[in-house]
Structure 1
Amino acid sequence: MKIIQIKRKTVVEKRYSIKMGELITHVTYIKKHILGLPVKTLYKYRKTYYGEVKDCSDCILFI
């Protein structure tokens, strides 16, 4: 078993953008795991309908 691993996971989330309103999108999280436990989120991004990759900082998590 490896001590340090980098894992990628895609989840469907509801986000809110000022320009588009409520948005349901696939968000990909890249996390660092030590001994199988998640330690830190290195990067998170989302893909648009047009295939562009954008950072999640411009959208607010919609609850």
Structure 2
Amino acid sequence: MKIIEFKRQTKNKKYYSQKMGMLNTKVTSIKKYVLGIPVKTLHTYRETYYGQIKNCEDCKLYA
């Protein structure tokens, strides 16, 4: 077992936009683990409808 690990996890989340309506996107987060316990989320990003990669902090879309 490693002491420090970095894991990437992808989840499906729903976002709402006035122009496009409800969107189901894959949101990927990179987390730092110490002895198997999650310590910190380093980065979160998502893929847009058009295939571009965007930082989740830049786009605040809520349902």
Q: TM-score, normalised on structure 2? A: 0.82
Q: What is the aligned-residue RMSD (CA, Å)?
A: 1.6
Aligned equivalents of 1:33, 1:51: Cα separation in 2 = 29
Which residue number in structure 2 is paired with residue 46 of structure 1?
A: 46
Amino acid across the alignment from 1:55: N
Identical counterparts, % of pairs: 56
Deviation for aligned residue 1:61: 4.3
Deviation at 1:56, TM superposition (A): 1.1
Cα distance, 1:15 vs. partner?
1.7
For residues 20 and 45 of structure 1, what CA distance do their matches in structure 2 show?
19
Consecutive aligned runs of 4 or more in structure 1 exceeding 2 Å deviation: 16-22, 59-62
Aligned residues: 62
Q: Following the alignment from structure 1 to structure 2, what is the Cα–Cα distance between the partners of residues 46 and 17?
A: 15
Q: Partner amino acid for 2:30?
A: I
2-11 vs 15-24, which deviates more? Answer: 15-24
Where structure 1 has 5 or more consecutive residues not aligned to the other structure, the ranges are none
AA paired with 1:12? N
Three-state SS of the structure 1 residue aligned to 2:49 is coil
Q: Which residue of 2 is the match for residue 60 of structure 1?
A: 61
When you count helix as a share of all residues, which structure comes out higher? 1
Give, in angstroms, the shift of residue 51 of structure 1. 1.7
